[in-house]
Amino acid sequence: MLRFCLIGTGRAGLVHAANIDRRIKDAQLIALCDADPGALRRAAAECSAGRQYLDYREAVRDPRVDAVIVATPAFLHREIACEAAAQGKHIFLEKPMALSVAECEDINAAAAQAGVTLQIGFMRRFDAAYVQTKEILESGELGPVMIIKSTGRGPGLPPPWIYDLSKSNGMLAEVNSHDFDSVRWLVGSEIARLYAEAANLKCDDARDRYPDFYDNAVVVLRFANAALGSIDGTCPAEYGYDARVEVLCEKGALFLGSVQDRGVSRVTCDGNVTTQAVESWRSLFREAYIGEIEHFISCVEQQTTPRATGLDGLKAVEAVAAANASITSGEPVTLEAVRRT
Amino acid sequence: MLRFCLIGTGRAGLVHAANIDRRIKDAQLIALCDADPGALRRAAAECSAGRQYLDYREAVRDPRVDAVIVATPAFLHREIACEAAAQGKHIFLEKPMALSVAECEDINAAAAQAGVTLQIGFMRRFDAAYVQTKEILESGELGPVMIIKSTGRGPGLPPPWIYDLSKSNGMLAEVNSHDFDSVRWLVGSEIARLYAEAANLKCDDARDRYPDFYDNAVVVLRFANAALGSIDGTCPAEYGYDARVEVLCEKGALFLGSVQDRGVSRVTCDGNVTTQAVESWRSLFREAYIGEIEHFISCVEQQTTPRATGLDGLKAVEAVAAANASITSGEPVTLEAVRRT
Amino acid sequence: MLRFCLIGTGRAGLVHAANIDRRIKDAQLIALCDADPGALRRAAAECSAGRQYLDYREAVRDPRVDAVIVATPAFLHREIACEAAAQGKHIFLEKPMALSVAECEDINAAAAQAGVTLQIGFMRRFDAAYVQTKEILESGELGPVMIIKSTGRGPGLPPPWIYDLSKSNGMLAEVNSHDFDSVRWLVGSEIARLYAEAANLKCDDARDRYPDFYDNAVVVLRFANAALGSIDGTCPAEYGYDARVEVLCEKGALFLGSVQDRGVSRVTCDGNVTTQAVESWRSLFREAYIGEIEHFISCVEQQTTPRATGLDGLKAVEAVAAANASITSGEPVTLEAVRRT
Amino acid sequence: MLRFCLIGTGRAGLVHAANIDRRIKDAQLIALCDADPGALRRAAAECSAGRQYLDYREAVRDPRVDAVIVATPAFLHREIACEAAAQGKHIFLEKPMALSVAECEDINAAAAQAGVTLQIGFMRRFDAAYVQTKEILESGELGPVMIIKSTGRGPGLPPPWIYDLSKSNGMLAEVNSHDFDSVRWLVGSEIARLYAEAANLKCDDARDRYPDFYDNAVVVLRFANAALGSIDGTCPAEYGYDARVEVLCEKGALFLGSVQDRGVSRVTCDGNVTTQAVESWRSLFREAYIGEIEHFISCVEQQTTPRATGLDGLKAVEAVAAANASITSGEPVTLEAVRRT
């Protein structure tokens, strides 16, 4: 039985809270923490957790807490994660891991020093279709990857703090961290170089104050092993949550994901055949969100390495930084160049 | 070059006329025939055919005509086909072949005696997907058929003369003749026994005058080789034209056809993913309608037996008669019993 | 917190055991019961339940047990359920409810007299797609149902005791009880009359000793409200578990279920595009199996009526009896006639 | 009736020949021309054309010829097209239009001066799904395009002359000309800037002699109207011909094309659900190939402007040139820069 404190009671945080409360037997949510008293109160009403904290420093000192789930905005990740590590708490850290490679390095160092388990919230690595894709690629039956393409679109308006790229690293960080992690994991090779085009095509209200904000981006990738790739991201796409991957290999191709949900399809007198789009990452990755926490618990209990490590988190942050640098400079950017800065 | 006269300028007739005019190089449409002067005039405006006849007896005597396409209501098929045979014309005869087994036998005898080619308009036998299904089943790779199911739904309101089952044999004849022929052809065995349920659920205006009229029917089949099957038919289905077949074999299953057309799919802000239903047999079987006429021309020129013979036409009429008898009696009916009456 | 005893540790039973052990927070599996010591031992190794019983009479007397899940062969349901009711235990009863309408009536009477909650394991009523279908039909937006078709195929060989129809009521009971319940629930009207064709096409070894055994069946249905329908069942279909429903209404149609699982699709050099079939009811209805137990717990705690009552269970048994009578007699059978016998 | 001479009897040329011979009524194929006597002889055996030429200069002087279809390798297009124009022949010119923008300008000037009809073989503009996509986008119902993605993969090995990029402009010209034309046509805006990554991942035998040859490429696009896009191309993909477009708009998205052909789907005992991939552009665009020639005939007869003009051909050549320049330089390239060189 692992006792959790959730730090950050936004949407992703509440998904974890509900899973621990209702679906994961060997875990207990005993505490909540949010700097916003209103959010904390609302979350407490939904959860079984008896303890509430406004200050994460107190939360991570609670001796009854074994592990924290950090689901705050990314610019707070470093200080919270490092403090939690210092207090000997195991850390489940939502993506993006942090705002910069340097911050990621700090977190990794803190966790290593404290000897606590650190897992990044790349839940796609726990989704049955992603796992199956990884297995097929690793089996070699389709030969090496030639081109991988990943599309990641979110349905909702981004919260305003994302407009400020210095605080958020933008949509590529908030939405497409998953895509950067997925393509790297699936190809089994590091991104070597990328070029990105981006535009603000929907968020008129952000244009004046945040001229570098973008809500659409297309990134072309070259991997160290010579494979090519692309990532495209849009938020909000409005029609739903859209996560699809296509992998072209030398001897075939794989297609993962669909715009369509698994629901009923209907045909009406106007001749329209209609199904529902995937509405949310909550429904699409329901089992993966449960699976990653069960995996985290097992890693803590058996002292094994999580499937999504702090290094994986760092690599995704690095790629996002490169893409943002490419958008700013209008030039292709090597990951090596990002690493040197 | 084969010179055709089209007899009956309704919807199916005009599809053949357009194909001969625009898509089939070694054929010429030289004459049209329809007892309705208005229909004849409208058809003439659409076609290249120079000659027009109100009386089929004159049409089939035209010495320039090599072959007739008979696309009139089914109750006229026997007299027209027999007269055309007597005049030495090759006959492409739309389904249903006739109203009764006896009428079919008359037509077959007339064609045999005259030595003319007779082909029934079972265009599904020329559709790539049906042909592929037939080939897979014949290859034996999936083992014997256990259950075959065929759905046939038409989009439009039936013409009023179909209300009178004594003239039309009803929807099972007009719409589902194709299904009866397909299942028999695909299974490679004769229907031995069937039971049918039917209801008039949409056509309120027909209820009083034609109490035995039905617009929905479900038929369960037992084949001579012990396979089972079902056919369901509805007209009008309104949403489009719907032809699907499912074949369950000992070692697998086949699925043929789709409610969806091959068009573009769209997703909109309401989260609906929408494609278009197949609108019409005209679009779905476009190539098959061309193929069956090219096949007919080739059979005439090379004096070979068509893929859909007069016996095939008769067998479908027989099955429809059995289904109508089952609906009337509320009992299962053997095909042998129909043959004896 | 509800404390359960599982009676019958076969496949369906173990699904419930695993769900209570791993996914349902407010429930506890405290006891197992199976007359077969080997099966009991194997089940105990997989579950957390501390207590084991070979005799259901002892199990239902255990004062720590609040509720039983009865997942034995159907011919044992009546005695176990009645005894459990007599001991004041709430009863979750797997389908088919029992072998005859009379047995169902006994169970219903026993539960009513004891005032315990009785729920039948029609998990499809808890599946998101079935629930959505029900809601669309009830909304009236598509008008009344004209034709409903339900296909139910199981992948595995039936256990030998099913060969004996006097003990099992055959495949229509074991596999297609779900279909009979679904069509009745979705249409919102009772089955009035049916006709069934059946054949043993795969199980050669059963043919001599059990000449009335069938592994394929097609049933045509007429509902009290004039809608038509069909059910087809096959076991084993070998390729996987196949549950699909099609509902044609006056103003459109609904399609529920797919042969294909939600996995990755791949295309290989031979030009084959391949996905995986749904492998098992375990994966397809995973959430529904959890949902029905959570619903049962809630019904017990709040003393409300379950979504799948003993009357629903009885009605499915009645329809299966009618279908078996039709197969035996070769005649259509009214449900009223079954009720009278 | 338009009388055609086909110049270049390779694969694309023979598709046109067969269509004119078998499917297009108001056209006649009267002459064939190919510098390779063996190819000419084989083509003559398949076609009805009575006249054969080894030298295109003689072919375009044949007074019975009204129009030429030029389907030779692209490096011959300029001289043939200009000579045909000089002889007053209407010109149907396969893609890519030529090797350079300057060559395209020569062809356009020659056709304009001679007053002959010039149409480029962008058959996708005549495909029902592409036309429907264009109509939906123009209707404005989905709002402006934000991201367009086009995938173009060919099944077969490229002919060896394509290895030499100075002669062929490479795979982006030979295979993806269609994609460059489609995205420009569908978005309704010119490509402003692009960046391309390419690699030779399959054609080992080309690597030494043709180090700049690539068989995989990913191109990211920025349009003049601020929309973003990507094109990816691979040849050979081996599994089939793969043409898909995805258009994300402000209020929804469109999906055009599928890896899957329209054939039968089968499920086998191993649980695989299998359909066939689209095998060839010949099958996928069968109707579009007929449609573009019928359109060309109509443009000649009614002296109207074709749907795919010489300017459209030039713009696609320009974009390919920019992409190849980007691959060579490793930098993003503006179309304006290409125009200036």
**ipTM of the complex as predicted:** 0.96
How far is the alpha carbon of D106 from chain B, nearest alpha carbon, in Å? 36
Tell me how far apart the alpha carbons of residues B115 and D126 are, in angstroms, rounded to a whole number.
44
Tell me how far apart the alpha carbons of residues A221 and A181 are, in angstroms, rounded to a whole number.
13
- How do the pLDDT tens digits run along chain A, 341 residues long? 899 999 999 999 999 999 999 999 889 999 999 999 999 999 999 998 999 999 999 999 999 999 999 999 999 999 999 999 999 999 999 999 999 999 999 999 999 999 999 999 999 999 999 999 999 999 999 999 999 999 999 988 777 888 999 889 999 999 999 999 999 999 999 999 999 999 999 988 888 899 999 999 999 999 999 999 999 999 999 999 999 999 999 999 999 999 999 889 999 999 999 999 999 999 999 999 999 999 999 999 999 999 999 999 999 999 999 999 999 999 999 999 998 77
**pLDDT(D158) > 80:** no
pLDDT band at C8 (very low <50, low <70, confident <90, very high): very high
How far is the alpha carbon of C128 from chain A, nearest alpha carbon, in Å? 7
Count of CB pairs separated by less than 8 Å, B with C: 111
- The beta-carbon neighbor of A250 closest among D149, D201, D227 is D201
Report the pLDDT value the prediction gives residue D185, as an integer from 0 to 100.
98
Using a CB-CB cut-off of 8 Å, the residues of chain A touching D249 are: none
Which chain C residue shows the shortest CA-CA distance from A249? C268
Report the percentage of chain C scoring pLDDT > 70. Answer: 100
Using a CB-CB cut-off of 8 Å, the residues of chain B touching D249 are: none
Q: Does A152 touch chain D (CB under 8 A)?
A: no
Residue tagged 């080939």 (tokens): B135
Report the pLDDT value the prediction gives residue D197, as an integer from 0 to 100.
98
For residue B45, count CB atoms less than 10 angstroms from its CB and return exposed for 0-12, middle for 13-18, buried for 19 or more.
exposed
Which pairs count as long-range contacts for B52-58, CB under 8 Å and 24+ apart, including other chains?
Answer: B53/B5, B56/B7, B56/B80, B56/B83, B56/B84, B57/B83, B58/B33
Which chain D residue shows the shortest CA-CA distance from C269? D239
**pLDDT(D341) > 90:** no
Q: Which amino acid type is present at position B62? A: D
Report the pLDDT value the prediction gives residue D48, as an integer from 0 to 100.
87
Report the pLDDT value the prediction gives residue A262, as an integer from 0 to 100.
84
Q: Which of A170-184, B250-264, C147-161, D63-77 has the lowest mean pLDDT?
A: C147-161
Report the pLDDT value the prediction gives residue D300, as an integer from 0 to 100.
98
Q: Does A135 touch chain C (CB under 8 A)?
A: no
Report the pLDDT value the prediction gives residue B42, as an integer from 0 to 100.
97
Q: Does B331 touch chain C (CB under 8 A)?
A: yes
Using a CB-CB cut-off of 8 Å, the residues of chain D touching B272 are: none
Q: Tell which residue, A115, A119, A106, has the closest CA to residue A70.
A: A119
**pLDDT(C36) > 90:** yes
Report the pLDDT value the prediction gives residue A158, as an integer from 0 to 100.
74
Report the pLDDT value the prediction gives residue B205, as an integer from 0 to 100.
83
Tell me how far apart the alpha carbons of residues D37 and D50 are, in angstroms, rounded to a whole number.
15
Report the pLDDT value the prediction gives residue B340, as an integer from 0 to 100.
79
Q: Does C264 touch chain D (CB under 8 A)?
A: no
pTM of the model as a whole: 0.96
Sequence-distant (≥ 6) Cβ neighbours of residue C45 within 8 angstroms: none
CB contact under 8 A, C250 and B201: yes
- Judge whether C70 and C34 are in contact, CB under 8 Å: no
Question: Residue A132 has which token pair?
Answer: 């199956």
Using a CB-CB cut-off of 8 Å, the residues of chain C touching B243 are: none
Report the pLDDT value the prediction gives residue D93, as an integer from 0 to 100.
98
Report the pLDDT value the prediction gives residue A156, as an integer from 0 to 100.
80
Taking 70 as the pLDDT cut, the residues of chain B under it are none
**pLDDT(C67) > 90:** yes
How far is the alpha carbon of C249 from chain D, nearest alpha carbon, in Å? 26
* Average pLDDT score over residue span C234-253: 96
For residue A65, count CB atoms less than 10 angstroms from its CB and return exposed for 0-12, middle for 13-18, buried for 19 or more.
buried
Report the pLDDT value the prediction gives residue C140, as an integer from 0 to 100.
97
Tell me how far apart the alpha carbons of residues B234 and B172 are, in angstroms, rounded to a whole number.
9
CB contact under 8 A, C274 and D272: yes
Tell me how far apart the alpha carbons of residues B188 and B50 are, in angstroms, rounded to a whole number.
43
- The beta-carbon neighbor of D25 closest among B22, B252, B253 is B22
Using a CB-CB cut-off of 8 Å, the residues of chain C touching B220 are: 195-197, 218-220, 230
Q: Tell me: the pLDDT tens digits for D99-121?
A: 999 999 999 999 999 999 999 99
Which chain C residue shows the shortest CA-CA distance from A244? C264
Mutate one of D20, D21, D24, D25 to test the B interface: name it (highest B CB count within 10 A).
D25
* Average pLDDT score over residue span C247-263: 95
Report the pLDDT value the prediction gives residue D340, as an integer from 0 to 100.
79
Mutate one of B247, B254, B264 to test the D interface: name it (highest D CB count within 10 A).
B264
DSSP B160: G
* Average pLDDT score over residue span D196-201: 97
Report the pLDDT value the prediction gives residue B157, as an integer from 0 to 100.
76
* Average pLDDT score over residue span D313-317: 98
Q: Does D262 touch chain C (CB under 8 A)?
A: no
Q: Does B216 touch chain C (CB under 8 A)?
A: yes
Q: Does D283 touch chain C (CB under 8 A)?
A: no
Backbone angles phi, psi at A208, to 5 degrees: -70, -50
Residue tagged 């592929």 (tokens): B132
pLDDT band at D79 (very low <50, low <70, confident <90, very high): very high
For residue C286, count CB atoms less than 10 angstroms from its CB and return exposed for 0-12, middle for 13-18, buried for 19 or more.
middle
Using a CB-CB cut-off of 8 Å, the residues of chain D touching A250 are: 201-202
Per-residue CA distances from D162 to A251, B194, B315, C294, D156 (Å): 22, 62, 57, 65, 13
CB contact under 8 A, A228 and D149: no
Mutate one of B202, B273, B284 to test the A interface: name it (highest A CB count within 10 A).
B273
* Average pLDDT score over residue span C228-245: 96
Q: Tell me: the pLDDT tens digits for C317-326?
A: 999 999 999 9
Between C157 and D66, residue with greater pLDDT: D66
Say how far residue B315 (Cα) sits from the centre of its chain: 12
Using a CB-CB cut-off of 8 Å, the residues of chain B touching D295 are: none
Report the pLDDT value the prediction gives residue C229, as an integer from 0 to 100.
98
How far is the alpha carbon of B5 from chain C, nearest alpha carbon, in Å? 39
Chain C neighbours, 3+ Cβ pairs < 8 A? A, B, D
CB contact under 8 A, D277 and C272: yes
Per-residue CA distances from D311 to B196, C314, D219, D298, D307 (Å): 63, 74, 22, 20, 11
